Structure formats: structure tokens, C-alpha cells
A and B are shown apart, each in its own frame.
Chain A
Amino acid sequence: MVRSFGGGTTSVSSKMPGRDRARPSNCFVLNFDRPFIVAFTLFLPVLAAISFAAEPTRDSDYDYDPPAPGSYSLPVIKPAADGALLDSNNKSVKLRDLTRGRITLLSFIYTRCAAPKACPYATGVLTQIHDLSVDDKTLAKSMRLVSLSFDPEYDTPQRLAAYSDNVRDQKSGCEWSFATAKSRAELETILAAYDQAVDKRQNPADPQGPLYHTLRVFLIDREGRIRNIYSSGTLDPRLVVADVKTLLLENARVSKQ
């Protein structure tokens, strides 16, 4: 079954046979022989929310058909800055190495964030896109996800590794790196370069988390240039995938010339 993304019919449309196998059409079965299961049924929507990602579709929050990949252009915004990082394996890496060679989605997060429209949402969208790449070889080999924490004191490599294990539904699919800045000074430089505003909340025990920040996810092309910036109002997985595919088509056109 072929499902088109971004409203277009391009050569890079997504095939999701794995999904089809996983969800036979006649598989809705309830088991009421355990009280706990009954309790679960009362929370069906919440429980469904924890399940693995499905293909994103038009809904009331994103009530439109996204433009077809390649039918529009994404202007260069600026070069993606470099910086010294520690990844979730406690290895030193350069941000430059995580933003070149593949089309990269770079998301600034911190794991203690509980603001519904911020990090949880951004990571959820990245999870969804990662899931899509499991069944899309083009995305799997051409795309990279990077979740970069701006809370290095708390988000140690060990915590990022644990976080990574929990937000990633699939072990296969495109590369997904979790990292944080190597030092406070490096973090400040990176935040300034990416215009990522972060403030300490007055109440450290604020239920939404100790830091206030704007949501930023960056689309970076293979040459390391920022081509789009998303926030909660524009971080529609369909638009993001359409943008990634637009850049892929752009690469294909350039290589033909």
C-alpha cells in the first residue's frame, strides 16, 4: 500500500507494509477477564497515545493538505553553527558532524520539560518521523534526527541514553542522535548561534519544567545550511516530511545537472 506524504505523488512516497501487517483490519479484541485490563479500557485514548506512531494525517490542528514536495522552494536561512558536544555514549562529537552529509532535523530540548506544546511535542513528532523512516529506505539513509539538550547539568549522557531508549519506538530507521553541550560556554555559543531563547523559570518546581524556552526545530540540508525553522504552530510532521523530500528532490535535480 502506497501512501503519499506532503500531498504529493513523488518518487519518494512512503511505503508502510510493516504497519499494514501490524494492524489487521479485524483485530479489535477486548479481554475483560482481568480487572486491570478493564481499568485500561477506561483509559483507551491515553493508552492509544502510547502506542507506536501512525502515518500523520489531516486533523483539526493541521486542517489542510500540505504542499507537494518539490512544488515549492526553501530559502537558505543561514549556516548551521558548529559546537562541541557530548553524545549519549559519552563521546565527544562536533555538532558540525551531526549537521552535514544528511538532511538533519535538529531539535533543542531538555528532558525535564513538561510543557505540552514544547519538548514533549517536538520529540513526539521526531518519533513519528523516525517511525516513518523505518519503512522508507530513502528517508532512513538520507535523514538524521538530532535531539540536543540545553540542560547539560541534568541531561547527562547517561540520562540522554535512557531518554533515547524510551522515545525511540524503533531501533532501525534513520540515525537519531542525542547529545548535549560539552560545557556551559559551548552551550551559550550554540544557543546564541541558533537563536534559541532559554530562560530559567522563577519557580524551579514549575509543573511545566524549570526552564522556559521557545520551541525550535531546524531543518538543515546536506551542506549544513538551515532551510526551515519550526515551532509548535508549524511542526506538522506532514510539512516536515514534505520539506525533507523537497530537499531530496533538490539534491536529485542538482546531481542531474
Chain B
Amino acid sequence: MKAILSDWRKSKKFVEQRAELYHLWYRFNPMSSGRKLGDEAASQLASRATLVTTARPTNPTKMKTPLNHLHTARFSRAIFCATILCTLVFSANVLRADETCSSPYLARIDGQEEFVYVWTLGVEGMGDGSDKLVTVDVKPGSPSYGKVVSSSSVDGRNEAHHGGFTDDRRQLWLAGLESSRVFIFDVHTNPAKPKLTRTIDNFAETTGGAVGPHGAYALPGRVLIPCLSNAKDKGGKTALVEYGNDGNYITTHWLPTKEDARGASGAEFADGYGYDARVLPRKNALLTSSFTGWNNYTTDFGKLTADPEAMKHFGNTMVMWDFHARQPKKVFEVPGAPLEIRWAWGDKHNYAFTATALTSKLWLVYADDRGEWQAKEVAPISDVKGGVLPVDISISSDDKTLFVDCFGDGKCRVFDVSDPQKPKQIYEKPIGKQVNMVSQSWDGKRLYFTSSLLARWDKQGADNEQFLRGYTWDGKELKPAFDLDFTALKLGRPHHMLFGSTKIGANRTSVASIR
């Protein structure tokens, strides 16, 4: 019992519970207003309660007040009991929702998503021809459900690709792979109509040569921007870059290479390539994946695949980092361009999935019995000869289901990943002639799909469908909910989706209005 108490006392919950009691005591004790906090019985009670369990006879200062002093504080005792009750009640998990692949540091949506933000590539001759942030209403029962409610264009075409919120969810950062510009939108003032507030257009110069910013990942007070390339040779060697939420540059961390592994094991595999970067906070683990450099992703897809030399320049690695120290610890050989990373959400689920685009495999990065991080191939994605080019994956919040979008044949394949070491495909559905990104609601009931991969890699002719499609999922089947034709709407090529809402833990009243 003593050992249990001792361990518990050292735990994070100890800190939370004790502090909660302090706060709740303060809130519920009517004597706390304007005078010293109550009769101090609460805090003394605390130390005496400890005496009951640990009886520290060697500490005379604590023994000065015998336990039977408690009878002088009956009122406080009642409040104390109420405090305990309140603590237990308020400690219950608040029901929150969000996209299942968002940063764990991100402020959460209360309830269901209201908007889907779509970072859309401009197409020459289509509408204004510029990249744009398209906002689609997905509020159930809304008259404009499944319709575009606003569109905000940025300057020109930048190879719009990925984006991400700041941790307070007040800003949405959207990156251009080709121009290396980053566009910062205010999504707080009016979530239905985001407004461009700032553009970072000196990315390469500021970051020491990193180019191809690939989205933004919320960290406390800052964003982590994984990049795809470098200004020197426009190849695949690249970096992770940090900016403050205020838009100011902080630092750059280059991916480990054979020449400079920075202490990481597996240096023989290190290629310095980058793509996604995601954190498992409770393990202090940052995992990165790898794709290809500017030279390749700005080249016509047919021309690229016909060039054996160019095809050698794809990433074949993932890297595990000490997140807090931002130091690479281990390089894994994961052949065939491992792209999106999805950490499991379960409290004891120490693993992440990725899919390799060029080899059509599911890979698992996991902590083994000794706590060592390992990577291994766990399942093929289809038996189609030549592969199906899996480009995005989405894990359900209960870690049981993984949706895999395959650009090659336009299908979404669904895997049962209850046993992460043995994924089994349980369903597949054609979404379109081509499909790219997939975003899933926290309750697993709604999924949204877009079509575009890259401006020069999308299919041609009739196969070049450009859409945002909403589906429902009942655990067995994907059923269409709405369909937006981005070509007919003259919007462009839709790529990354992010969820928006007016309900982020509170209404949108500024603190300035508190009187």
C-alpha cells in the first residue's frame, strides 16, 4: 500500500488532483473572498491527512497540530468533501471532437466539426487561377450543408499542399511546396470566412536553406514545419523548421544524413529526406517520414517515372527523434517513400502507422517489449501489380480502423488494425478516378475525401476529377453524403482538409469584453 501511494504521489495525476483541490477549495469556499483563504483548515487538513497515512514523528513542526483540531473546522470539512466530489466530477473526460490525425497539442473542437477548410491548388484559366482556401459548411441541418460558404485566394499558384492550425486554433498556416511561401489565415474572428493576415515569403533565406514547407504542425506556442527540399540542390535533403505563433522564425533542424547522423543509430540508412512529422507526447517521441525533393515533385509525373535516375531520389527512411531535445535517435529503413504518419491514440498504444507510396505497404513503427522503437512492414495494400500509390491514411480514434486512400485506382481501402501487427483489409470503395486526402471525424462517422495529389502529378483528361466528397461510415460501408465538383465550381485542385468550428471550448468573445 505504501509503495502504491508513493508511486501515485509521484505521478502527474498527483499534481493535477492536488492543484485541482487547491483551486476548487478556493472557488467553493465562501470565506476565501477578500480575506486569507478561509480558516486555513483546508491546507492544514491536507498536511494532517498526510500524517494519518505516513505518521512522521520525526517532523516536529507537523506534529504540533494534532488531528483532533479538525473538529474546529466542521464547515470547512463539508466544503472539503464537496471539493472532493467536484474534483471527481470535473475530472471526467469532456466530450470533444476533432479530426483524428490532428496534433495532440491542438485546442479541440467541442462537438461536431462545422466547416471543412480545403487548401486548393489554383489552375491556370480556371476562375482566378490562384491557390485558395475554400470553406465548406458541414453543419448538419444547415441550409448550406455541403456547399462552399467562402473562398479566399492567395497570390498566384504555389503548389498548395498541406496546412495546420496553431495550438490555440486561432490561425491556419497553409504552405506552398513550389514557392515555399506560407500563408497565415485568421480562422478565429470568423471561422466561416477565414482571412489572410500574413505571408511568409522569405522562407529559404530565413531558415538557412530549407524549402518546400509541407504544412504546419501545432506545438505549444509554435508550429513545426517539416520540409521536403533544400535551396542548394533542390534535392531531398531537408529540415524541420520552427516558427512562433507570431510568425517569427525560431530554428531549423536538418534531417540526419550518412555524413552527419547527429548521433542517431541506423546512420547507414540516413538519407536526410523529409515529409511528415508527428509527436507522441507521452513518449517524448517525434517521428518523421520521407518523400522526395523539389526537382521531382515539380516534374511531370509521366516524365518523372520514365527517368530511372530521378526515381532513385525518393526517401527510404523514417527517423525517431527525442522530441524535447529535437535530436534524432534512430533511423529506420522504410523503402518506398513512407508518407503520412498516424500515431495511435490509446493510452498504451505505442505505435504509429505509415504507408509507403512506391511499394504499397503498411508499416508499423512501434515500441517493442524492451521499449525500443522498431519499424516493420505489416501488410500489403492491395495485390494490384505495380502498386496503387497509397497517399494518405486516417486512423480512427479508437485505433481499430485505418482508412487508406490509393491515388492509383481511386479507392479507399479500410483495414482492421485492432491488432496493429496484423492489419486486415475489411472493405474497399472507389471514391473517384483519383483520390488523395482523407479526413475523419473523431466519432468515426464522417469522412471527407479530396482528389488532387500534385499539380503535375494529377491524372489527365477524364480521369482528372477534382472533388471534395463527404461520406458517412457505419462501421461497414461508406455512403455518400455530398459531392462538390471543384472543376465545375472553378475552384481548382483540392488537396488538404482541416476541420473548423465556432466552438473551440468557448464562444468567440474577446477577453476585452469581460467586465
Contacts and interface: CB of A to CB of B under 8 A. Distances in A.
Contacts of A211: 506, 511, 514
Contacts of A78: 244, 246, 248
B2 A28 contact: yes
Contacts of B57: 27
Contacts of B33: 159
B115 to A, nearest CB: 18
Contacts of A61: 11-13, 282
A114 B49 contact: no
Contact of B10 (A57, A156, A234, A242): A57
Interface string B476-515: 0000000000000000000000000000111111111111
A220 B513 CA distance: 30
Contacts of B42: 166
B327 interface: yes
B59 A22 contact: yes
Interface in B103-139: 104-105, 107
Contacts of B84: 43, 46
Contacts of B284: 62, 64, 66
Interface residues of A, number: 98
Contacts of A76: 250
Given A48-B9, A165-B37, A229-B221, A111 B511 contact: no
Interface in A146-179: 150-151, 153, 156, 158-159, 161-163, 165-167
Given A59-B10, A199-B508, A234 B325 contact: no
Interface stretch (A9-17, A33-41, A92-100, A137-145): A33-41
Contacts of B244: 77-78, 195
Contacts of A50: 18, 21, 45-47, 49-50
B456 interface: no
A170 B11 CA distance: 20
B36 A202 contact: no
B473 interface: no
B345 interface: no
A253 interface: no
Contacts of A91: none
Contacts of B190: none
Contacts of A202: 506-507
A29 interface: yes
B220 A234 contact: yes
Given A51-B47, A166-B25, A231-B221, A75 B250 contact: yes
B98 to A, nearest CB: 15
Given A77-B250, A216-B220, A234-B281, A24 B58 contact: yes
Interface stretch (B86-94, B228-236, B291-299): B86-94
A131 to B, nearest CB: 11
A233 B220 contact: yes
B77 to A, nearest CB: 8
B350 to A, nearest CB: 8
Q: Which of B15, B43, B220 has the most CB of A within 10 A?
A: B15
B52 A41 contact: yes
Contact of B23 (A53, A77, A123): A123
A45 B27 CA distance: 22
Contacts of B54: 23, 27-29, 51
A229 B220 contact: yes
A61 B242 CA distance: 25
Given A24-B58, A64-B284, A162-B35, A120 B326 contact: no
A53 B336 CA distance: 50
A166 B16 contact: no
B347 interface: yes
A216 to B, nearest CB: 7
B178 interface: no
B311 interface: no
A30 interface: yes
B55 interface: yes
Interface string A170-197: 0000000000000010011001000101
A158 B251 CA distance: 42
Given A51-B9, A214-B168, A229 B514 contact: no
Given A77-B222, A195-B221, A197-B170, A119 B34 contact: no
A62 B14 CA distance: 13
Given A28-B1, A61-B12, A239 B324 contact: yes
Contacts of B242: 75
Given A200-B507, A216-B220, A22 B56 contact: yes
A240 to B, nearest CB: 10
B19 A55 contact: no
A198 B10 CA distance: 31
Contacts of A125: 15, 19
A229 B222 contact: yes
B511 A200 contact: yes
A111 B322 contact: no
A121 B15 CA distance: 6
A154 to B, nearest CB: 10
B90 A208 contact: yes
B167 interface: yes
B45 to A, nearest CB: 8
28 contacts: A21-B58, A29-B54, A34-B68, A45-B5, A47-B49, A48-B8, A48-B14, A50-B45, A54-B10, A57-B10, A59-B12, A67-B324, A78-B246, A114-B20, A115-B90, A119-B19, A124-B22, A125-B15, A127-B15, A159-B33, A162-B26, A195-B221, A197-B170, A199-B510, A212-B504, A229-B221, A231-B220, A234-B105
Interface of B: 1-2, 5-27, 32-37, 40, 42-43, 45-47, 49-50, 52-59, 62, 67-68, 70, 84, 86-87, 89-91, 94, 104-105, 107, 167-168, 170, 220-222, 242, 244-246, 248, 250-251, 281-285, 322, 324-327, 347-348, 504-515
Given A47-B50, A198-B511, 9 more contacts: A46-B21, A49-B21, A77-B221, A113-B23, A197-B107, A199-B508, A208-B90, A211-B511, A211-B514
Interface of A: 21-24, 27-31, 34, 36-37, 40-41, 43-57, 59-64, 66-67, 71-72, 75-78, 111-117, 119-125, 127-128, 150-151, 153, 156, 158-159, 161-163, 165-167, 184, 187-188, 191, 195, 197-202, 207-209, 211-212, 214, 216, 229-231, 233-234, 236-237, 239, 242
